[in-house]
Amino acid sequence: MGYFDFKEIKYEGRNSKNPFSFKDYNKDEVILGKKMEDYLRFAVSWWHTLTALGTDPFGGPSMERSWITDDPIETAKRKIDAGIEFMQKLGIKYFCFHDRDLVEEGKTLAETNERLDIVSDYLASKLKGTDIKCLWGTANLFGNKRFVHGASTSCNADVFAYSCAQVKKAIEITKKLGGENYVFWGGREGYETLLNTDTEKELNHFAYFLKMAKDYANKIGFKGQFLIEPKPKEPTKHQYDFDTQTVLSFLRKYNLEKDFKMNIEANHATLAGHTFNHELNMARINGVLGSIDANQGDMLLGWDTDQFPTNIYDATLAMYEVIKNGGLHSGGLNFDAKVRRASFEADDLALAYIAGMDTFAKGLRIASKLYEDKVLENFIKERYSSYDSGIGKSIDDKKTSFEELEKYALAHDNIVNTSGRQEMLEAILNQYIYNN
């Protein structure tokens, strides 16, 4: 028995009028030497797609979720069947989960862990014989009220211990499911007011928690890449993992930089006052671009709306960074995105994924052409050409001094700059978007 009425989604090309078809995502088509599906490595988010019910602060559930029953284990298993059916019909090969998306918590931690064992065994058995894999697992250290003051940054040591126990189990399950990465999004790791907060102590605890997690992963032979997902605010006012550069300086202070990369989420980037491609660029140039949570925010709203990505401009610039990164390696494009509350029918889930997948496929097509034609590269190279010879080269090679530079500046103080040509470049980018 199936949970979704829609049929397998196929590539029908640009002119198709069938909403249940891909217009740009042609999985086997080779772009820059790789199949589209290998470049994009799309993933389903277990939470938004199969678990969340469409509640908001003003209203209750709205979503059709035909797999839900009164029995948590039964629901968890049916959800797995539904998830696999959904992924197979869309041709998506990866999924991401929080421990608590797999199965509802029991009355005690021991009971919760037992439930997780049963459900993860069931999931592992269902994955056998399919080509579906786990992109990443994570622990939900924010939903339950025990995390009101945070998890590893809680003022309550019992909560710190509980968080470690929960992550230990989540890593074990991610390993069992063959997870290629493990994510830490700092749920409630942040604070509301300095009137009651010892930030130094909290950050020390946070680092120790991450170190113990990595040590435990090494101990049990879990080889997945550890990722941190920056977000500047929400749920707390000051999230410690504000953005890529903030996280990098934290990791470097605590000597954790070799063990962690970034999972960059588009909507988190914009909440931080950055563009999505700024965050990807910062991660890339620092060698820590690990994976992507593909979604988009609403520029008129100040919170994480987690919409399906349909903005081709942003997807193009994002894929440009991914291409410059040589791909996402063990990472992928996880749709950390939810349909709007009014899009409550099961079909809406498929239509939303089609929109997101086509947007990124289109972004990849356009970005690959920009990259092949070296449009931006050539312009940028020329823009910095004053560093190719003479005094510029000495600066680049770090073979000069303040004294020499002063002598040079005294003799060359009639400075001539050239235009940055931003509008011309934006027009060229538009041409690539229209023509590809």
Q: By the criterion CB under 6 A, which residues form the site for ligand XUL?
A: 98, 138, 183, 185, 229, 231, 265, 293, 304, 336
- Determine how β-strand 190-191 pairs with β-strand 238-239: antiparallel
Verify binding: residue 265, Co ion, rule CB under 5 A: yes
Verify binding: residue 241, Co ion, rule CB under 5 A: no
The region of 23-31, 36-44, 90-98, 261-269 touching Co ion under the rule CB under 5 A is 261-269
CB of 143 to Co ion, least distance (A): 14
Q: Which long-range contacts (CB under 8 A, 24 or more apart) does 129-134 make?
A: 130/84, 130/88, 131/93, 132/84, 132/87, 132/88, 132/92, 132/93, 132/94, 132/95, 133/93, 133/94, 133/95, 133/178, 133/180, 134/94, 134/95, 134/96, 134/97, 134/174, 134/177, 134/178, 134/179, 134/180
Using CA atoms, how far apart are residues 351 and 333, in angstroms rounded to an integer? 17
CB of 414 to ligand XUL, least distance (A): 52
The answer to whether residue 205 is catalytic is no
The region of 14-22, 128-136, 243-251, 258-266 touching Co ion under the rule CB under 5 A is 258-266
CB of 62 to ligand XUL, least distance (A): 20
Nearer to ligand XUL, 189 or 358 (CB): 189
Verify binding: residue 37, Co ion, rule CB under 5 A: no
Nearer to Co ion, 37 or 293 (CB): 293
Nearer to Co ion, 336 or 358 (CB): 336
Dig out the tokens for 20 from the structure.
């249940």
Contact partner, 138, from ligand XUL, Co ion, none, Cβ < 5-8 Å per class: ligand XUL
Q: Mind giving me the DSSP string for 112-143?
A: HHHHHHHHHHHHHHHHTTSS-EEEEEE---SS
Q: Which helix (H) or strand (E) holds 152?
A: none
Using CA atoms, how far apart are residues 361 and 264, in angstroms rounded to an integer? 18
Q: Which of 223, 222, 159, 150 is nearest to 185 (CA)?
A: 150
Contact partner, 284, from ligand XUL, Co ion, none, Cβ < 5-8 Å per class: none
Contact partner, 304, from ligand XUL, Co ion, none, Cβ < 5-8 Å per class: ligand XUL
Phi, psi of 419 (to 5 degrees): -65, 150
Residues paired with 35 in a beta bridge? 30
CB of 43 to Co ion, least distance (A): 11
CB of 143 to ligand XUL, least distance (A): 10
Q: Per CB under 5 A, which of residues 331..360 are in contact with Co ion? A: 336
Contact partner, 189, from ligand XUL, Co ion, none, Cβ < 5-8 Å per class: none
Residue nearest to ligand XUL (CB): 185
Nearer to ligand XUL, 185 or 222 (CB): 185
Dig out the tokens for 81 from the structure.
């069947």
Nearer to ligand XUL, 57 or 129 (CB): 57
Nearer to ligand XUL, 183 or 354 (CB): 183
Q: Which of 279, 293, 314, 321 binds Co ion (CB under 5 A)?
A: 293
Let me know if 215 is exposed, middle or buried by CB neighbors in 10 A (0-12, 13-18, 19+): exposed
The answer to whether residue 98 is catalytic is yes
Using CA atoms, how far apart are residues 173 and 116, in angstroms rounded to an integer? 8
Choosing from 48, 98, 205, 274, the catalytic residue is: 98
CA dihedral 25, 29, 32, 34 (to 10 degrees): 100
Site for Co ion (CB under 5 A): how many residues?
A: 3
Phi, psi of 384 (to 5 degrees): -100, 15
CB of 87 to ligand XUL, least distance (A): 18
CB of 371 to ligand XUL, least distance (A): 28
Cα four-point dihedral sign 225, 93, 76, 128: negative
Choosing from 101, 243, 306, 336, the catalytic residue is: 101
Nearer to Co ion, 186 or 363 (CB): 186
Using CA atoms, how far apart are residues 283 and 268, in angstroms rounded to an integer? 14
Using CA atoms, how far apart are residues 192 and 265, in angstroms rounded to an integer? 23
Q: Which residues are catalytic?
A: 98, 101
- Residues engaged in binding Co ion (CB under 5 A): 265, 293, 336
